[in-house]
Amino acid sequence: GTTLAAAANLTGRWFGTAVAANKLADPVYAGILNREFDVVTPENEMKLDATEPRQGEFHFTNADRIVDHALARGARVRGHTLLWHAGLPGWLQGLSGAALRQAMLNHVTGVVTHYRGRVHSWDVVNEAFADGTSGRRRDSSFQRTGDDWIEAAFRTARAADPGAKLCYNDYNTESWAHAKTQAVHRMVQDFRARGVPIDCVGLQSHFGSGNPVPADFRTTLRNFADLGVDVQITELDVEGSGQAQADGYRRVVRDCLAVPRCAGITVWGIRDTDSWRASGTPLLFDGRGEEKPAYHAVRSALLGG
Q: Which of 94, 17, 18, 82 is nearest to 50 (CA)?
A: 82
DSSP state of 177: T
Q: Measured at CB, which residue is nearest to ligand G3I? A: 276
* 252 three-state secondary structure: helix
Among 38, 45, 151, 235, binds ligand G3I (CB under 6 A): 235
The whole-angstrom separation of Cα 14 and Cα 10 is: 9
Q: Is 161 an interacting residue with respect to ligand G3I (CB under 6 A)?
A: no
d(C-alpha 203, C-alpha 191), whole Å? 18
Does 290 participate in catalysis according to the annotation?
no
DSSP H stretches of helix in 14-148: 27-36, 48-51, 61-72, 90-93, 97-114
Q: Shortest distance, CB of residue 222 to ligand G3I, whole angstroms?
A: 23
Residues 6+ apart with CB under 8 A from 305: none
Residue type, 57: E
CB of 50 to ligand G3I, least distance (A): 9
- Kindly tell me which of 8 and 48 has the beta carbon lying closer to ligand G3I: 48
CB 203, CB 233: distance < 8 Å: yes
Q: Is 87 in the site for ligand G3I (CB under 6 A)?
A: yes
CA atoms within 13 A on the CB side of 46: 31
- Judged by CB under 6 A, the number of residues near ligand G3I is 9
51 binds ligand G3I (CB under 6 A): no
Half-sphere exposure of 162 (CA within 13 A, CB side): 1
Indicate the residue type of 8. Answer: A
Min. distance of Cβ 247 from ligand G3I in angstroms?
23
Contacts of 192 (CB under 8 A, 6+ apart): 198, 227, 228, 229
Q: x/- string (CB under 6 A) for ligand G3I, residues 276-305?
A: x-----------------------------
What would the x/- binding string for ligand G3I be over residues 188 to 217, using CB under 6 A? ----------------x-------------
Q: What is the contact mask toward ligand G3I in residues 30 to 49, using x (rule: CB under 6 A)?
A: -------------xx--x--
Name the catalytic one among 45, 127, 151, 174: 127
Residue 52 annotated to the active site: no
Least distance CB 84 / ligand G3I (angstroms):
7
- 156 forms part of the interface with ligand G3I (CB under 6 A): no
Q: Where along the sequence are the contacts to ligand G3I (CB under 6 A)?
A: 43-44, 47, 87, 126, 171, 204, 235, 276
> Which amino acids are annotated catalytic?
127, 235
